[in-house]
Every structure is written in structure tokens, then in C-alpha cells.
Amino acid sequence: MSEAMSKGSAKQSILDGNQLTSAVAAVRTIPPDRRIYALGVITGTFHIYNTGRPAGGNTQYHLTITHSGYSQRSLAPGGTDTFNGGGNTVFIQNDGPSALQVLSNGNQLERPKSSPNLFMQSLVARPSDSLLGSTGDDAMNTLQDKWYNALVAGLGLNANTFQLLQSSAPLPFTSMGIWNIFNSIPPDSLTQVFSQSSFNSFYDTYRAVVMNLMPPDGAQFRQTLGDSYPAWQAAQKALKPGTNVLNAFNEWAQLNLDPGTATKASIQYQQLLNGTVGLAVKNVLNPAYIDANNGPIFSKTIQNLKDELTQAPQRTLSFDSSTASSDVSHTWASGSISGAYDFFRAGAGGDFDQLNTKASSSKVTVQASFGRVLSFAAAPGGWYSSAALSLGYRTPDNTVWTPGQQPDWESTFGGNGNLKRLSTELVVVDGIDATITSSATFSSSEQQTITGSASAGFWPFFSASASGGQQTSVSFDSSGAMTLRISVPKGNPQVLGVNVLPIQQALGG
């Protein structure tokens, strides 16, 4: 918490889970109903607190800060997560089991200009007031669903696996940049907002799992440690990449066990390190499998991607929102979306809210050609053991998972688990030539606003790189209808989306 949160009634009220009577802070209670709630524009720091009511362990929630990124989080009862809204609109979805409270100091929770009573009327959120579902949101979501169907059909993709990717900034096309996307655990959504600086890490989640697994053949080792075994498990979880696991255990044993027990346990542990779980622990900490930014490596590099692109086919796409289907019930996520997707990326607030609604509610067409379209697969590097993760997945009881410690099977693979799917392929395009039109009538002042924001990008190609000769232009005809042109020459590949597999299928089951 910030220094401002350390004094006064705001901290006491949020930690006690009581309603605030002071005007020092604004509080929203978010029930565990899996609905999407709009928190409005938040200009500064805000805090999300797990009330622990009703009880049931860690609460899973989804947070989208528009123009910044999406994240899926797990919060322990009584715990607090802190974020910075940065003047962006914020959305939250609570999967449960407990209610959450959102607190923001002072006047940082701003009332949306279009809906002044959206979230300040009550401390308890009411779905009719706050649920994402305004006319503008509905129009944009419908347009996004239609675009998804058009991409799948036009580019020969698979609706059982494909997920659109929208980025808050151009994606850095380096090996580490594409590894970050592979490392991001995708949400249960047809579209995800991706940020290189904020995503749910597969590596971190996997590492926590293997650190909490008990080797099936480790009964003698656990018996030797006795009541000290949970303490070693906790110490093992805190190990950082680059740590020699056996040396770490020996140091811990010398401090926590009598000499005879320490020697016996060291011999047993060394034997366990050659088993499935032991090797997984050693490899996930091996610095050879970590990149310069402390992220995990994968089996292919950016050069592999560029080489494969040279053999990829060309594709063209024609889209008309007035005739395209918005039915996505046949897709793998059945139409779920994560976050809000605006037509114009340049800003939020009353002016752009109206422009976004006007553009997305009108007839929209896209004529696009892609020089190359590639589904690029890469596997996790040597840090990953499919055998160890499969052991944990197929053994939900406490014969493998350490009893009473997190993560457990339910928090990992259960209904609200944080490792239910993986990104196995990137869908990459190289060379974009697109014309987008909106038949809405824009006034002279609106045309000036849109023209001034052209460099920030337009739906649906937000993540197109600003380098490498990209050209973006906007024009209006005599009636005020808009035409956008985006051109990105070959040699500047863009990630259009990812292919997603359920964890069971990714593990070969």
C-alpha cells in the first residue's frame, strides 16, 4: 500500500471489509458472479482487496486496464493487489469464491461522462448499473465477433483454437518478445489484450506447481524429514533461477536438522533429483534456460520465424459488418471477451467514447491483403517437463500435491484454476495493406479529432508497428464517411493472434 493508504479511515475500512462512511476514498464491492463490471476511468492508484466472504480459498479475477493490458489474478483471503489506472477505463470480472472490494484514494475514481451514476451510487455493485453492456460496448463487441469470424474464414484459421491478440503497444519483434507471448497464459476469451509488461506467466505458474509436487518415490525422504518437510517445501519454493538445488538443500539441512538426519536426507534427496519431479525442479531453476530479461526461453527464435515466413502463403480478406455473422457460439470460448475494444486507440473519455460508438455502430468494411500468413509453433525450453506437469494434472489428491499448501490441484487446474490453457502457436502476418471504412457521418470537429489521432492506430490493426515504413492515413468524403488506410511493408511481421489448447490436450490427454 502507498503511504497515503497507511493512515486514516480508508485503510481501516478496507481491511475490515466494512463500508466506508468517509469521503476519503471510493469503494466498490464486486460480487463473485463472473459478470464484467466497469469501474470507470481511474487516474491513479487503486487497490483490490479479497474480503474472504464467502470463504473458499484464493479468489480468481480478471482485470483489464484499457490501453495498458489484461491480467488474470489469484488473490488470497485478506490480500491486496495494487495497480495504477493511468487515466484509463478499468473493467473487472470476479470468478470467486469471495467478494472483492476496489478502493481508490480521493477522486481517482472518475465518473464516466456518458453514465454519471455508473459506479458511485452504492458501495455494493449492482449489475444493472455497472455491468459492461452499454450501447457502445455492445456495438464494439458485436463488431469484434464479426471480425473474428471473418478472420477465421478468410485466413483458414480454426475456431476451435484461434484467439485474436490486441496489444497496447507495438510488439517488439525479438526472440524474447515472441517468447513472452508464448509464456502468456491466455484467458478464456476469443480476444485478449496483451501487454509485454503485464501478463500471467506460464513459467512462474509452472515453477510454483513443480515446487509443490512431492516425488512419488519420496516417501522415505519425507519420513526422514518428518515435521520439517513442509518447512523445506516452503524454502524450496523461494529458490531463484540459478540456484543449485542440492547445495541449497544441504545448507538448509545444516541449519534445521541434526547432523545425522541431515546426512541421511541429503543422500535421499540427491537420488530424488534424478526422478521426474527432481529433474523438473533442477531444470526450472537452471539459468541456461532463462533469457537476458529473466524470462523463459522457447525452442524457436525470431530467426526461425522469419525463415518460416518466407514459405508462408499470401491471403486476402473482405469484410462487411452489415452482412457478416456475429454468431460465435461455435467457437472454443463461445464468444467470451476480455476487456473493452475501442475503434480508436488514441484516448478515453466523453469525446472518444462517442466517436467509438458512432464508428462501431455504423456499417464497417475492411479490404485487406496479407503478404504472408503463418501459424508458428514453438515448445517450452529445457526448463519445462511435460512429465512432471502431467503427473500433477493426473493426480489431484495429496499423494503428489503437498497437503495444505498452495498451489494445489484445484487452484491450478480446477474450475477457476490459473493454468487451464496454453498458447501453442503464434498466428503471424507479414505485409499488410488494408482499407477500413465506416459509413457513419462525422462532423468537421470530429474529423479533426480523428485525423489528429491517426498515428495511434485504428481497429482492427492496433499492434501494427510504427517503424519499418508503416503508413497510416485517414480521409472523409463529402458526407463525412471515413476511410482509413494502413500499409505495412514485408519485413515487419505482426502477431495477429495465438492458437490456444486446453491444458489436457496440451499434455497429450
Contacts of 224 (CB under 8 A, 6+ apart): 261, 264, 265, 268
Contacts of 307 (CB under 8 A, 6+ apart): none
Closest CA to 498 of 399, 424, 406, 411: 424
What pLDDT score was predicted for residue 88? 81
Strand order in the sheet with 69-75: 69-75, 59-65, 88-96, 36-42, 109-110
Contacts of 228 (CB under 8 A, 6+ apart): 256, 257
Phi, psi of 133 (to 5 degrees): 175, 25
What pLDDT score was predicted for residue 199? 77
- Angstrom distances, CA of residue 224 to CA of 260, 262, 265, 480: 10, 9, 6, 79
User: Where do the domains of the chain lie?
Assistant: 3-131, 138-171+181-195+298-378+424-504, 204-292+381-415
- Expressed in angstroms, the distance from the first to the final Cα of the chain is 43
Alpha helices by DSSP H, listed for 381-443, are: 386-394, 409-413
What does the buried/exposed string (b/e) look like for 213-230 if buried means 16 or more CB atoms within 10 Å of the residue's CB?
Answer: bbbeebeebbebbeebbe
d(CA 89, CA 459): 17
CB 470 within 8 A of CB 494: no
Q: Is 53 helix (H, G, I), strand (E, B) or coil?
A: coil
Distance of CA 124 to the CA centre of its chain: 26
d(CA 337, CA 356): 18
Closest CA to 132 of 40, 27, 32, 194: 40
What pLDDT score was predicted for residue 200? 84
Q: Is 74 helix (H, G, I), strand (E, B) or coil?
A: strand
Closest CA to 236 of 265, 203, 213, 259: 213
d(CA 286, CA 293): 15
d(CA 409, CA 397): 8
DSSP 298: B
Distance of CA 69 to the CA centre of its chain: 7
CB 61 within 8 A of CB 309: no
**CATH of the domain spanning 3-131, picked from 3.40.50.150, 2.60.120.10, 3.40.50.970, 2.60.40.790:** 2.60.120.10
- The parts of the chain modelled with pLDDT lower than 50 are 1-25, 106-135, 340, 347-350, 464, 466
DSSP 396: -
User: What would the DSSP string read from start to end of 124-138?
Assistant: B--HHHHBS--HHHH
Question: Please, is 404 exposed, middle or buried when counting C-beta atoms within 10 Å of its C-beta (0-12, 13-18, 19+)?
Answer: exposed
